[in-house]
Chain A
Amino acid sequence: MILHDLISYEVLRVIWWGLLGVLLIGFALTDGFDMGVGALLPFVGKTDVERRVAINTVGPVWEGNQVWFIVGGASIFAAWPPLYAVSFSGFYLAMFVILAALIVRPVAFKYRSKRDDPRWRSSWDWALFAGGAVPALLFGVAVGNVIQGVPFYFTDDLHTIYEGAWYMKFIGLLDPFSLLAGVVSLAMLVMHGGAWLTLKAEGAVQTRARRIGSIAALIAVGAYVLAGVWMAVGMEGYRLVGEYVTNGPSNPLHFEVERSASWLTAYADRPWIAIAPLMGIGGGLLTFLGLRAGREVSTLLVSKMAILGVISSVGLTMFPFIMPSSSDPQSSLTVWNSSSSHLTLFVMLVATVIFMPLILIYTAWVYKVLWGKVTEADVSDSSSSAY
């Protein structure tokens, strides 16, 4: 096969760096409101019927939304194998907690309504709460760790060694900056869940969702700005030094890395990337206003804009770094040293170009079929198949 030479290795790497962002953002935009609704569930629904309304706003779509996460994970495996190997084994216990939360969530959606017993239902409500809030928090914590660098190194034959005691793979992750990043992520998804419920629910559920969502929007913006200030004044960044090739073999040990004064020097080098944090902050504030004003469709759109801005700001600020190593900077994973082979990236790109538009089309069709509010009458109808 010579076809893959049509696109240079370097360009393919940048494309896949972008696609990684697309998948993570796709996950946050879609499954994000499912997790937000889960985290909001005990607070927006006081009665069983109200909770069922909230659950059924996401009932028919959460399953498809969750696939963004699965495909995100699989694409990291396929396109960035060292990143997959280092991060999943490095954040071992945290990954287990996320897995546990994500396993319990499908089951809770499906099984909650299958018995009338109030204790049964309230147990599953807490499962849905944890299934939404815990991953939302931990995803942010993971990003916080990645921004600061993670203590790992490669041996000569590229075994990954994560330094520190085993329990540090969980409690070691919970440093103040990472927790702040966790707050950004949790508050952002709660805001998004609030915006979704504003669109899909009415009455008391909607009122509560608007109130809590608007508070979450302010917290998200505040914590995000604080994290930015922290990165400006109190944190070193990383940079590649010496001569390096951007289309060479994926081996981190062929590169030289050292600490830089700050990640935010990227904004001096590439001022245009400032659009990302501006979208994040602006989107968050507009979501706050939209929720207060009771706007429905436009609030969900600005909430999406906020998420898009916040997540892409992380990637754009760190480029070309993907996962720096704090204990052995030379082992840091970058766009240039941790991708799959030229051929694999090309094959995967072809598959993505064919299937991603199809996915977007049929997903849009499903949302269109399900358009409209979920009401108390809908879930009370005994013949309906609602959760």
Chain B
Amino acid sequence: MEFGIVELSRLQFAVTAMYHFLFVPLTLGLSVLVAIMETVYVMTSRPIWRQMTKFWGLLFGINFALGVATGITMEFQFGMNWSYYSHYVGDIFGAPLAMEGLMAFFLEATFVGLFFFGWDKLSKVAHLVVAWLVAIGSNFSALWILIANGWMQNPVGAEFNPMTMRMEMTDFFAVLFNEVAQAKFVHTVSAGYVTASVFVIGVSAWYLLKGRHIELARRSITVGAAFGLASAFSVVLLGDESGYSATHSQKMKLAAIEAMWETHDAPAPFNLVGIPDQEARETRYAIEIPWAMGLIGTRSLTTEIPGINDLVANAEERIRSGLVAYEALLEVRENREATDPAVTATFEEHSADLGFAFLLKRYVENPLDASEAQIVAAANDTVPTVWPLFWAFRIMVGLGFGFIATMAYFFYRASFKGMRFPRPALHLAVWMIPAPWIAAELGWFVAEYGRQPWTVDGVLPTAMSVSALSMTEVALTLAGFVLFYTVLFIVEMGLMLKYIRKGPFEDVEETEAWNAHHHARLAGRPTADAASQSDLKPAE
């Protein structure tokens, strides 16, 4: 493949987006975990829970700064590098981004300052409300971003307007309640919760291994494991939901992930592992689980899932139909004052396939000049490279099940074994810290690489979406971002490690005074079972 402005722009987007997503999942999850910890503090008044809130809040803050900083790039990159995309779908895609700012980012960013600076300025309950507003803001942010992204995967509620040469919104609620977006949202925030849980458990496990901050670490693991277990189930289930919705919206992506070349009689088997061969269009050494694919993809035993070869044949038909639309479009534009109603009707009949005609722009300036061979080549272009998707997906899913197992184990030890954890499990928890990040990045890779060759599935090819920039410009900014982001990453990791090593600020005197006071109060009561009551809310 020739490496041109399209590939360079894609590389830049991939680098900046994946870098941004190093920080996002932890922000999503840690904001909620911190708010939960502070809730326990407000309910029990135990100083240890405030110390936990402050400690994990501090790490949240270090991470949050980079999440915000790298998010700015994402917001502006569409206009900078993808200006035709911005023009072509801005009418739909821009709206959720603006809503994100109005509804979510303002909330999150306005209150995050107060979260750090407001400890002495606010009442306990008011500060707790602030913590929850930050968490809600962060999570709502994700909702709107995924509504925008979901529309790229499944462009509903919009149609092409020949007068403005762009897609325009026809039904806002269709965009809002896009099933792909909803499944992606829950899947993504759950992935964030798992990430934060693994992070909290891992760091706490390290403290336990070092024999430091035992009280704080055990409680943190307990919260992390309970929250993480629920989230790990959710992330896998909603991943499955995404797969189900992909069955009708993104058939090619699903077939590519599955390396399913031929349409199989229902219910199709699931290739557990195998070596996809793009040239020969077959998957070698496949180990199949009978029926599994049919069940996951269609939730029925009788519905067929189309294979890649059939989808390519379908794409070829749609290219031909798109060419009819393209020809009509030129005529509509030419005579916009008095268009022949027959031409308009032809255009409307075929306009859903217009994007497929644009696939030919890679080969010819005017799609109408395309040869038969070029039409066939363009149809073949609709198949993304299969093996990276096949493997990325399997590693992600494997990690997902690994999270469920780990979280279940820690939850069990925390709930039924008196918060005592064997050393090998603690070591495992420390080594597991990077795993959710790997899973999250692979998830985005599958979602976005699997959508190729489209930016908006079936509507706008990636190759057509770029700005008219020179290689020099994009290379310069790409180098700038890489350099800049690398420095920031090193600084960020340095600070994270410094503050993890330094550990939480434990006000021992305060904790002991509180405990002594608390026990004295309990001793004054008739019930002898003080130990089991020690976690209850003390009477004010």
Binding site for B on A (CB under 8 A): 1, 59-64, 66-67, 69-71, 73-75, 77-79, 81-82, 84-89, 92-93, 95-96, 99-100, 102-107, 109-111, 114-115, 156-162, 166, 169, 248-251, 254, 340-341, 343-344, 347-348, 351-352, 355-356, 359, 362-363, 366, 369-370, 384-386
The CA-CA distance from A59 to B114 in the complex, in Å, is 10
A64: B residues at CB distance < 8 A: 106, 109-113
B83: contacting residue among A60, A89, A102, A251, CB under 8 A: A89
The CA-CA distance from A266 to B81 in the complex, in Å, is 35
Closest partner residue, chain B, to A350 (CB atom)? B172
B105 touches A84 (CB 8 A): no
- Listed by A's residue number, 22 A-B pairs whose Cβ atoms lie within 8 Å are A60-B113, A64-B112, A67-B110, A70-B75, A71-B106, A74-B94, A74-B97, A74-B98, A77-B97, A86-B83, A87-B79, A88-B86, A106-B69, A107-B65, A114-B62, A115-B498, A158-B84, A340-B91, A340-B95, A352-B102, A369-B121, A386-B117
Say yes or no for B284: interface residue by CB 8 A criterion: no
The prevalent SS among residues of B at the interface is helix
A79: B residues at CB distance < 8 A: 94, 98
| B473-516 to A contact mask, C-beta < 8 Å, 1/0 | 10011001000100010011001001100000000000000000
A351: contacting residue among B99, B170, B499, CB under 8 A: B99
Closest partner residue, chain A, to B62 (CB atom)? A110
B172 touches A347 (CB 8 A): yes
Q: How far is the CB of A18 from chain B (nearest CB, A)?
A: 15
The CA-CA distance from A84 to B84 in the complex, in Å, is 10
A166 touches B62 (CB 8 A): no
The CA-CA distance from A156 to B164 in the complex, in Å, is 10
A340: B residues at CB distance < 8 A: 90-91, 94-95, 168-169
Say yes or no for B118: interface residue by CB 8 A criterion: yes
Stretch in contact with the other chain, from B40-48, B215-223, B463-471: B463-471
The number of A-B residue pairs with CB atoms under 8 Å apart is 249
| Known A67-B106, A71-B105, A110-B61: A158·B495 in contact at CB below 8 Å | no
The prevalent SS among residues of A at the interface is helix
The CA-CA distance from A89 to B5 in the complex, in Å, is 14
Chain B interface bracket (under 10, 10 to 19, 20 to 34, 35 or more): 35 or more
A105: B residues at CB distance < 8 A: 69
Most buried by B among A161, A348, A384: A348
A99: B residues at CB distance < 8 A: 72-73, 76
A63 touches B484 (CB 8 A): no
Say yes or no for B13: interface residue by CB 8 A criterion: no
| Known A1-B171, A92-B473: A81·B91 in contact at CB below 8 Å | yes
A88 touches B68 (CB 8 A): no
Q: How far is the CB of A22 from chain B (nearest CB, A)?
A: 12
The CA-CA distance from A158 to B64 in the complex, in Å, is 38
Most buried by A among B75, B94, B118: B94
Most buried by B among A106, A166, A370: A106
The CA-CA distance from A363 to B69 in the complex, in Å, is 21
New A-B contacts (10) at CB < 8 Å, excluding given A71-B106, A95-B80:
A67-B106, A74-B97, A75-B94, A75-B98, A75-B101, A81-B86, A105-B69, A106-B68, A161-B468, A254-B336
Q: How far is the CB of B111 from chain A (nearest CB, A)?
A: 7
The CA-CA distance from A158 to B120 in the complex, in Å, is 56
A74: contacting residue among B70, B75, B170, B470, CB under 8 A: B75
B113: contacting residue among A63, A88, A115, CB under 8 A: A63
B72: A residues at CB distance < 8 A: 69-70, 99, 102-103
B102 touches A100 (CB 8 A): no
The CA-CA distance from A348 to B172 in the complex, in Å, is 10
Say yes or no for B272: interface residue by CB 8 A criterion: no
A343 touches B172 (CB 8 A): yes
A85: contacting residue among B87, B117, B336, B477, CB under 8 A: B87
A355 touches B116 (CB 8 A): no
B102 touches A359 (CB 8 A): yes
The CA-CA distance from A359 to B103 in the complex, in Å, is 8
The CA-CA distance from A178 to B261 in the complex, in Å, is 58
Say yes or no for B107: interface residue by CB 8 A criterion: yes
Say yes or no for B163: interface residue by CB 8 A criterion: yes
Closest partner residue, chain A, to B112 (CB atom)? A63
The CA-CA distance from A248 to B161 in the complex, in Å, is 12
A89 touches B168 (CB 8 A): no
B114: A residues at CB distance < 8 A: 60, 366, 369-370
A100: B residues at CB distance < 8 A: 480, 484
The CA-CA distance from A87 to B86 in the complex, in Å, is 11
B169 touches A85 (CB 8 A): no
Q: How far is the CB of A125 from chain B (nearest CB, A)?
A: 15
